[in-house]
Structure 1
Amino acid sequence: MSKANKSINVEIKDHPDSSGQDVSELFIGKKLIGTLKEVSAGKYEAINTHQEQFHVKTFEEGVTLLIKEFHLHH
């Protein structure tokens, strides 16, 4: 028997870090699942809660990757 698909609400909060660069924090509920920041034009760095860094080409790809990593380790 398969389980029904549940939708999840992902909240993205933007703020500057200590160097003044914009950082996006991703939350599921009140739990932080990772951060995203643009390292150069069209390239982003996604960092999960285990401090693993991933380089992605788009912001959306980074969000998807962090959600997958969260569900893999959750």
Structure 2
Amino acid sequence: MRFILGLMTLITVIGISSMAHAQAASNDRYCLQGRGWGFPGNCQFATRQQCLVAASGTNAHCGLNPRYAAHRRT
């Protein structure tokens, strides 16, 4: 009985984790990139327009998040 309960808990945790990862992946498609940022940059932008607004007036640019781009290839 404990084994089954533990297994169900593990499956639930894995399911929640994968859903959270999928949600996070859709919110970080674009990265603010430039000298002030490490690689891949500040990847908190869901749209390119959001990233461009944040980059406005700075010496930064926007690029596709490499994690998102790699995920799209598979």
TM-score band, normalised by shorter chain: under 0.3
| Structure with the higher fraction of residues in helix conformation | 2
* Structure 1 or 2: more strand by fraction: 1
Largest Rg, 1 or 2 = 2
* Greater relative CO, 1 or 2 (CA 8 Å, sep 6+): 2
The two structures have a TM-score, normalised by structure 2, of: 0.24
TM-score w.r.t. length of structure 1: 0.24
